[in-house]
Amino acid sequence: MTGVRGPSPLDDLNRRLAAIRERRRDDASETGPDDTAKSAMGYALRIGVELVAGLVVGGGMGWLLDMWLGTSPFLLILFFFLGAAAGMLNVWRATRTMNLPDAPGD
């Protein structure tokens, strides 16, 4: 609150507009998924189901193939593990971006 002349409101507006335009042009690869606690809880809700769905889909596929090919229960067992692996893969994909060096802290 001294007499020193701060940046004029128009300069400030110009700068903010430029920043917004810059952001508009950005591509997905440059800006990560958005930050904030909201997305942290979003992650938490995402990954639990991912594991279970892997087992269910893998087991279901194996069971259907078994019914079709008459190889019960070997494909069920095989696809159960493949489904588990796929579930793990999905979890890893979902959480990978959290560890990137430019990811928002904590």
Positions in the binding site for other proteins (CB under 8 A): 23-29, 31-34, 38-39, 41-42, 45-46, 49-50, 52-54, 56-58, 61, 79, 82-83, 85-87, 89-90, 93
Of residues 22, 47, 23, the one with CA closest to residue 98: 47
**AA letter at 28:** A
Nearer to other proteins, 11 or 35 (CB): 35
| Residue 95 structure tokens | 């959480």
Min dist CB 29 to other proteins, Å, is 7
Q: What is the DSSP letter of 8?
A: -
| Residue 22 structure tokens | 């810059």
Min dist CB 38 to other proteins, Å, is 7
Min dist CB 37 to other proteins, Å, is 11
Where does residue 36 rank: exposed (0-12), middle (13-18), buried (19+ CB within 10 A)?
exposed
Nearer to other proteins, 5 or 38 (CB): 38
SS3 state at 20: helix
Nearer to other proteins, 1 or 37 (CB): 37
